[in-house]
Structure 1
Amino acid sequence: MMARWRLLFTAAFLISSSWADRQLYVFTVGEDGDVVQQVETDNPIKYFKTVQDSNVIAKALLNPTYKETGWDIIEIKTNEAFTDEEQAYAAGYVEGKVTHDAIYRHWYNTLEDICRDQEKICEEVEDFVKTNLKWLRRGMDAYSNSSDYWHQVKLYYTQLEGMADGYSSANSSPKTVLRVQDIHLLNNPDLSDIVEVIKARKNNFTNIDPGKDPKVLGLLRCSALIKVLPDGREMYAAQDTWSEYGSMLRFQKKYDFAFHNISNPQEVIPGRAMTFSSYPGVITSGDDFYVISSGLVTMETTIGNSNASLWRYVKPEKQISEGVRSMVANRLARNGREWSEIFSKFNSGTYNNQWMVVDYNKFKKGTKPEDLPDELLWIAEQIPGYIRSEDMTSVLRKQGYWPSYNVAFFEDVFNKSGNQPMVDKFGDWFTYDRTPRALIFKRDHVKVDSLKSMLALMRYNDFRNDPLSACDCTPPYSGENAIAARCDLNPRNGSYPFPALGHRSHGATDAKITSQTLILNGLQFLAVSGPPFNLTNGIPPFQWSKTDFANITRHVGHPDLWEFKPIIHIWS
């Protein structure tokens, strides 16, 4: 790839907490990839925003504030004078080069030993992924020059190729070599479901006892809330990521890529720019939470699949992974209907989520919930073999909020994906309207009247005192039963009806909130990194040195104490 193009990259490193001391480094990479030039400037922000170099394909502005805020922040901007493929490759290359240390640490913490004691199934997963990539390459070769959709698919994988090459160009140790396929794996949240497909095939796609099903461990992600204030002065969209604590090397990213439509080469795509929470080496959000220049905000919570018979619909060919499809939809869609239609193509049936698409173009300040226009909120729910999407603005009109908490809303999706057997065995926890988070959102959404109170709700956890956090457990409550989980605070010797409610290295690892005001100020969002804490409620900050799993859960590069404040980053 390097031999095809002359690549010049600009990377601005903000290396101290005060603007005056920060330095800018400019990297120019020639055809052979061996010419690197470093330039300094007194004003990296001004340089990033205003300096135009006809030879520069991509610029990256890096603010390494992870130890101070829980987030590193990177902005990447490409030059429209170059082809879309050149832009995509350059964007990936510069990010891989300037964040290579964080990429390796994230891979080491989350994937390096994932195949230990399960080498056979990992080989089968790798074969599945390889077959899928071969089919994708055939599709890209055949259609990327004539289809807007396939053009964006190709740009996604071109960016990943650049990421892998950029990482390799910066890596100097044989101990930290990452293959192209390792970068692909970092960008593939579908892997755990591919494992389920392989296991289900060996069991003739029949269900096992839900009490023994590993998905009951609660490996689902996220709480989300869309809230319209009663007087219409603001609409908030928020999401908490729930994950294993070893994943907390975090980035906020802004991509501004001047990609075009094949059908109209003079037209730049609607989703040219987007800001999102993310991870090292990952070109999607993964959480997922996006604020897009088209006026859309997209986010999801995982609903999963507990019906083994549905896994038969998952194939390595004629399907595209969820992360790729969501990014293509983010870039091409102008509204929620278009987003849902684009996303629904080539359903992979893996990483099955409830997606929320909020069209802020349709929200006018002062519009009360009951007066909201049609198509402001679209919901798309995916399971293997089936995606249902609808305009659900009517729910916002009726109740003023839309909550999401890892349970399917649409009744047919709920039933097809095998939730009723879970309800029959374990009770209300697996229902849509009586699970703890549903009841907490229903009770507390009325308390939201500002950005501050919205954040308080999204970080809420008072599991020892809140009756809605109670369970048939010993002790009689669980840190899982909250808007922002803290499963590490459940006693290890407790008794729980299923493992999700018990003690483990898992919980809410962030919160992100945006609003019309923040979007109009430059695609901004408020974000706080790390598990929730509230000393008044007896919830201490998470601290690795005080856990009993610090020697089990890898966390290289993490701070010990997670007591970060929320930030609103002002993008350049």
Structure 2
Amino acid sequence: MLKVVGASWQKTRIGTYILIGAGLLVIGAFFISYMDRPKYNGTYCATAIWSKQTGFHIEYWKQQNDLLNIPKGAARVCYKDSIYENGWAQIEVETQRTYPDWVQAFGAGILEGSLTWNNIYNQWKNTIESSCERDENSQNFCTWLRDLLCENYIRIKETAVQRGEHDHYWHQISLYFSQLEGLETGYIRGASRARSDLEEEIPFSDFLLLNAAADIQDLKIYFENFVANATNGTASDDREDHKVLDEGVTSMASVVVPPHTETAAEPKNFFLPSATMLAKIFQTPDSPTWRLLFGHSTAGSYSSMLRIQKRYKFHYHFSPNIRSNTVPGVDITFTGYPGILGSTDDFYIVKGRQVQSIVGGVGIKNENIDLWKTVNVTEALPLVARVMAANRIAQNRRTWAKAMSRHPFTGCKQWITVDLNKLRPQDNLYTMLAEDEKHDDAALPLNAADEAAINERHNRNKGLVWIVEQLPGRMHLKDVSERFLTGANSTWIANGVPYFDEMLQASGVTRDETSELNTHQALGDDDLTNLEAVDQFMRKHGFRGDLLGEESVAYGNIDIKLFSYNAQIGISDYHAFAGPIFIRLQHMKPRQTLTESASLESSASVDEPKVLASHLKDERLSVSIDDAAQLAELERITERRSVRNDMHAIVMRQHSSGPFKWSGVADYITDVEHQGHPDEFNFPKVTPRWAW
């Protein structure tokens, strides 16, 4: 056509080439449109590369599907922010043993901070920043707390340098703060890389404050009773020695007491419903193998519900010497929050060289404010750093408990830790003989072989379960394996009341109906045979502060974690639910038929509240706060009291309320920050899938 209109041969050839090229592009686009494109699930990965000459260099790999082949470097990380999808973000960090420990720790911190910087900012904004600026009292407390934490940080670093070479515990404490320093560096780098114009910068003191979340309840009580009054000139100096001689209790002697006041005024204490924890070890009729069921529900402020599942696979050594052995607890999985390097939920799954264990904790009540007279808070270590150090260096549950007994200054806590490696197949002789020993008239003389078998089983099971309790300045720890293996009931419930009589007496708390839930009848022990039954129990005994009508508070049980272990096949099952708990009707009758399901739906509104009320009638929950975000709620509760007498009414509202929605409480909960939160917390269970 070009030739017809008089174009030259050169122009004709050029035009022809253009037409052919356009045609090929059309054909190529057609085929490309039908080609399979890689689908990404939002997982972002990065690697920290380090050398003595150049220091740290971070390689970002954008979205990845092939996680196994992410370059290792000194540390590598993969992170997925799926909070709007299932209520949890997920992060996995791995370090390499061939690098110095401080390089592993700092590199891991940089990687985590650079990928999670946005959620770190939101968590800080929702909790620390909003709570500390709430009023003058909150500002005074946060100023004092920041100064205290910064001074303690300097002292801890100096002590770690002096003792870390020969003290395994102090070496791990040092690495915790090295990781925290890396986290701050990574946060700054991540925000800068994203070219984000944040309204405020997060000072390092607030990174310390985030990581002291588990101590804030105690430090708030200490501040109100011994610091705030002292500034008014009513304090007097005092020095008191406190010695505990009972077996299993850490001795504290010659502790300097800060100034405190002795007035007739009622001491200030702060109570909210505690976290709940359940553990059961049992045998099935058809198998001699022991099984473990474990449930844990965190109590916290709704503003803190930016949740994250973390797995730290850190190949630290026992000492700064890179030639020393790696620690037993290399692989630690826990539930936590952005910007915090441990689980302030107090829920850990620990694995490693000859170690496989679970660690759980809840806050316990303390009505004896005078215990603080024996404590110098300037010597305190953050509770979460102590737990992570114990998780890493402990070779068994006894050494874990001993590590936890160091520096028991803050953190009114009750811990249970189970050695899963000791849940090995057993025959029924041990249980049968143990039962017979309870009745003198039924006991028969044992021959040497039977007696040796019993002793062997006692030694085998020793160290299976330890319970550790801490009050200000004191700690009680004990092997309670026989209570789980030979008692009439193997189920144990922790709900804020001290377990050991010595700690109960020291705390000034009295056992009531609420604390007797660890009886066989109250628990319905025969029905607790699977995780679904544990899930039901945790939900029935949970607390929702947004269901209190005009007096609603943004506080309650904000998750459920469920864990089981079958020793016969060596397989564990773990999953978690995010958000304030609510009754899931579909879980009330497992394995029901379609006919039964239809019948349940038609009668649920009539029958279920009665069933639920039978479990909760006349129960009184008291308050225990163990999260930094709960500062916003502290000023609302300024005296000792029970939250509610009529738990039946709360259950009725909880049954009909369904999932929590921020838009549903906007009219009566207006002063709680929740940046980055989904509106509705109605998520299925989540089982993290790890790559490494």
The interval holding the TM-score normalised by the smaller chain is 0.7 to 0.9
2: CA distance, partners of 1:59 / 1:520:
32
Distance 1:70 1:23, change over 3 A: closer
TM-score scaled by structure 2? Answer: 0.68
Number of residue equivalences: 505
Q: Does 1:325 align with 2:386?
A: yes
Distance 1:28 1:235, change over 3 A: closer
Across the aligned residues of Structure 1 and Structure 2, the Cα RMSD in angstroms comes to: 2.9
- In the alignment, which of 182, 202, 207 is matched to residue 183 of structure 1? 207
Distance 1:230 1:555, change over 3 A: same
> What secondary structure, in the 3-state scheme, does the structure 2 residue paired with 1:514 have?
strand
Aligned to 1:563: 682
Given residue 445 of structure 1, which amino acid in structure 2 is its aligned partner?
D
Distance 1:128 1:36, change over 3 A: closer
The Cα of 1:443 is off from its aligned counterpart by 2.9
Matches within 5 A, 1:402-551: 402-420=492-510, 431=511, 434-435=514-515, 442-459=522-539, 461=540, 482=541, 484-492=542-550, 503-517=552-566, 525-534=574-583, 536=604, 537-547=655-665, 548-551=667-670
Give deviations 1:285-324, integer Å, cap 9, x for gaps. Answer: 1001000002121110101422121112231343322211
- In the alignment, which of 356, 361, 366 is matched to residue 295 of structure 1? 356
- In the alignment, which of 384, 390, 400 is matched to residue 490 of structure 2? 400
8 Å contact kept, 1:380–1:389: yes
> What secondary structure, in the 3-state scheme, does the structure 1 residue paired with 2:358 have?
strand
Distance 1:275 1:93, change over 3 A: same
Given residue 47 of structure 1, which amino acid in structure 2 is its aligned partner?
N
Given residue 314 of structure 2, which amino acid in structure 1 is its aligned partner?
F
Given residue 68 of structure 2, which amino acid in structure 1 is its aligned partner?
K
Given residue 158 of structure 1, which amino acid in structure 2 is its aligned partner?
S
Aligned to 2:247: none
Given residue 324 of structure 1, which amino acid in structure 2 is its aligned partner?
A
1: CA distance, partners of 2:265 / 2:520:
30
2: CA distance, partners of 1:238 / 1:301:
12
2: CA distance, partners of 1:239 / 1:441:
21
Q: Does 1:215 align with 2:270?
A: yes
Aligned to 2:448: none
2: CA distance, partners of 1:367 / 1:552:
58
8 Å contact kept, 2:123–2:338: yes
Distance 1:520 1:239, change over 3 A: farther
Matches within 5 A, 1:319-358: 319-348=380-409, 350-358=410-418
Q: Does 1:244 align with 2:324?
A: no
Worse-superposed segment, 268-277 or 221-230: 221-230
The Cα of 1:458 is off from its aligned counterpart by 2.0
2: CA distance, partners of 1:375 / 1:410:
18
> What secondary structure, in the 3-state scheme, does the structure 2 residue paired with 1:175 have?
coil
Tell me: higher relative CO, structure 1 or 2? Use CA pairs within 8 A at least 6 residues apart. 2
Identical aligned residues as a percent: 27
2: CA distance, partners of 1:565 / 1:546:
20
Give deviations 1:214-251, integer Å, cap 9, x for gaps. Answer: 413x1x54100111234255211221101111111000
Given residue 408 of structure 1, which amino acid in structure 2 is its aligned partner?
P
The Cα of 1:263 is off from its aligned counterpart by 9.1
In the alignment, structure 2 segments of 5+ residues that lack a partner are 1-37, 230-234, 236-259, 435-456, 586-603, 605-654
1: CA distance, partners of 2:179 / 2:56:
20
Aligned to 1:76: 93
- In the alignment, which of 123, 129, 134 is matched to residue 143 of structure 2? 123
Give deviations 1:489-538, integer Å, cap 9, x for gaps. Answer: 12326xxxxxxxxx321111111122224998887621111112225543
Distance 1:518 1:209, change over 3 A: farther
2: CA distance, partners of 1:523 / 1:157:
32
The Cα of 1:96 is off from its aligned counterpart by 0.5
> What secondary structure, in the 3-state scheme, does the structure 1 residue paired with 2:549 have?
coil
Worse-superposed segment, 360-369 or 515-524: 515-524
Distance 1:263 1:392, change over 3 A: farther
The Cα of 1:178 is off from its aligned counterpart by 0.9
Aligned to 1:283: 341
The Cα of 1:168 is off from its aligned counterpart by 1.0
Distance 1:441 1:344, change over 3 A: farther
In the alignment, structure 1 segments of 5+ residues that lack a partner are 1-17, 421-430, 462-481, 494-502
> What secondary structure, in the 3-state scheme, does the structure 1 residue paired with 2:325 have?
coil
1: CA distance, partners of 2:76 / 2:111:
8
TM-score scaled by structure 1? Answer: 0.81
> What secondary structure, in the 3-state scheme, does the structure 2 residue paired with 1:164 have?
helix
Aligned to 1:47: 69
The Cα of 1:262 is off from its aligned counterpart by 2.0
Distance 1:42 1:71, change over 3 A: closer
Distance 1:280 1:23, change over 3 A: closer
Aligned to 1:227: 280
> What secondary structure, in the 3-state scheme, does the structure 2 residue paired with 1:412 have?
helix
Worse-superposed segment, 92-101 or 34-43: 34-43
Worse-superposed segment, 305-314 or 252-261: 305-314
Given residue 385 of structure 1, which amino acid in structure 2 is its aligned partner?
G
